[in-house]
Amino acid sequence: MLKDWKLKEIVLMSLFGVVFGIVYLVFIHFGNIWAGIIGPIAYEWMFGIWFIVSIISMYIIRKPGAAVLPETLAALIEVLLGNAVGPRLILSGLVQGLGAEAAFAATRYRHFNLAILMLAGAGSAVFSFIYGYFISGYAALDPSFVAFMFTLRVLSGMVIAGMGGKYIADGLLATGSLRGYAISRSGKGDAGA
């Protein structure tokens, strides 16, 4: 998967994985506070934050694996830093990354416009929700509540991960720090529309 990658792409992807592993762990605490106020549905509206590294990394690097690898690495870092979920979280990161990767693979890694980035965020949400449905016992919940949870998670993936990821990567591009990466060679951040 990494045979066609440049060293600097591997380093950047790894850096993103580490940084967002820390960010993800911090957001668990925000989620816990919010859930204490409005209940477990609180996590659904903010789930997109846990998908964002896959969008940012793929949008910048634009190669197969650039979504699934940093998402899995971020989950591993989270576990190593003490996330209470433990090693099962690594599988969750893999599933989320595969959801984003599927959207980019569907375009044969040729399109990186906002719609595709939002689709990738939705893909992460769908994959993670299906995984969570079986692991977390959503079947015991009222079907209308489950549908509401699903809708919130997909919207969060589209807005926070898709739109937010594009915004962050475009901001990095504007600084000139991404010269030499695929995003800079496209001429503009959302090329491939």
**Predicted local distance difference test score (pLDDT) of residue 156:** 97
Report how far residue 100's alpha carbon sits from residue 108's, in angstroms, rounded to the nearest whole number: 13
pTM of the shown model: 0.92
pLDDT band at 193 (very low <50, low <70, confident <90, very high): very low
**Predicted local distance difference test score (pLDDT) of residue 35:** 86
Q: What single-letter DSSP state applies at residue 138? A: G
**Predicted local distance difference test score (pLDDT) of residue 73:** 98
Report how far residue 126's alpha carbon sits from residue 123's, in angstroms, rounded to the nearest whole number: 5
The region of weakest confidence among 27-36, 108-117, 145-154, 162-171 is: 27-36
106 or 83: which leads in pLDDT: 106
**Predicted local distance difference test score (pLDDT) of residue 187:** 58
**Predicted local distance difference test score (pLDDT) of residue 190:** 55
- Over range 112-133, report the average pLDDT: 97
- Over range 35-44, report the average pLDDT: 87
> Who contacts 18 (Cβ-Cβ below 8 Å, separation ≥6)?
73, 74, 77
Taken in order of first residue, the domains within the chain and their CATH numbers are: 7-185 (1.10.1760)
**CB neighbourhood size of 34 (10 A):** 17
φ, ψ of residue 191 to 5 degrees: the values are -60, 160
